[in-house]
Amino acid sequence: MADIASDEGFLLAILNSTPVADGVPMDEFADPARARVWLTSAGGLGTEAELRHVVEVRRLLQAVVRGELAPDVLDPALRGVTRVPAMEGGHVNWTLSVPPGRELAVRAVLAWDSLARQSPGRLRPCANDECRLFLIDHSKANAARWCSMAACGNRMKARRHYQRTRNTRVLKRDG
Ligand SMILES: [Zn+2]
């Protein structure tokens, strides 16, 4: 999983927790015991309710990034979230107040939003249609298409090469 210390890495870890391994869709949160360990390591409570929230928000975020749902579906995930002002060092300091057990789901939504604002179009699904992972493209050209060159890039290139050579052979045979 990605480095979850940064909000971006955390978001990517959530989005990419349903990979396809050897053609079989997996869910890294399917085993509640294992999922709770992960939630705790990410700073959560590790409760069943929290896991449900995270899994639901993951489903919505994945659909939003794939363009299948409008971002407004994320609204319920933000309910009850407020900003609380307090004087600190002579200044007003605002802290986010999130209902207990919803911190991780809210963090994922806020990370998605800040990425969408600051780097629109940089978060996208892997172009390999058999892959369910997402990528955040930081390159200058913004032309990355694969979750990773090793996992999908080379495979897709090999497939295209195979199709090209096969098509050429078919053409030659016909001609
Ligand atoms: Zn991929």
CA of 152 to the centre of ligand 1 (A): 5
- Cα(20) to centroid of ligand 1, in Å? 9
153 Cα–ligand 1 center, Å: 7
- The Cα 128–Cα 117 span in angstroms is 26
138 Cα: distance to centroid of ligand 1 (angstroms): 16
Q: Which residues pair with 86 in a beta bridge?
A: 93
> 1-10, 121-130, 155-164: which range is least confident on average?
155-164
Q: Compute the distance from residue 80 Cα to the ligand 1 centre, in Å.
A: 35
Give residue 82's pLDDT band: very low, low, confident or very high (50, 70, 90). very high
Q: How confident is the model at residue 124 (pLDDT cuts 50, 70, 90)?
A: very high
Please compute the mean of the pLDDT values over residues 118-146 and round it to a whole number.
93
Torsion of CA 150, 68, 65, 57, to 10 degrees: -110
Check residue 173 and give its pLDDT.
Answer: 60
Q: Which residue has the higher pLDDT, 170 or 41?
A: 41
Interval between CA 128 and ligand 1 midpoint (Å):
5
pLDDT at 175: 45
Mean pLDDT of 141-152: 89
Question: Model confidence at 121, in pLDDT bands (50, 70, 90)?
Answer: very high
Q: In terms of C-beta density within 10 A (0-12 exposed, 13-18 middle, 19 or more buried), how is residue 39 classed? A: buried
Alpha-carbon gap, residue 6 to 71, rounded angstroms: 22
pLDDT at 79 over 60: yes
With a cut of 70, say whether residue 1 has pLDDT above it: no
Dump pLDDT digits (tens) for 68-77.
999 999 999 9
Q: Using alpha carbons, list the distances in angstroms from residue 147 to 29, 31, 57, 126, 153.
A: 20, 24, 21, 5, 8
Percent helix, strand, coil in the chain (nearest 5)? 50, 15, 35
What stretch of H or E contains 60? helix 48-65
Q: How far is the CA of 23 from the centre of ligand 1 (A)?
A: 12
Q: Is the pLDDT score of 2 beyond 90?
A: no
Task: Taking residues 91-101, report their average pLDDT.
Answer: 96
Q: End-to-end CA distance of the chain: give it in Å, rounded.
A: 51
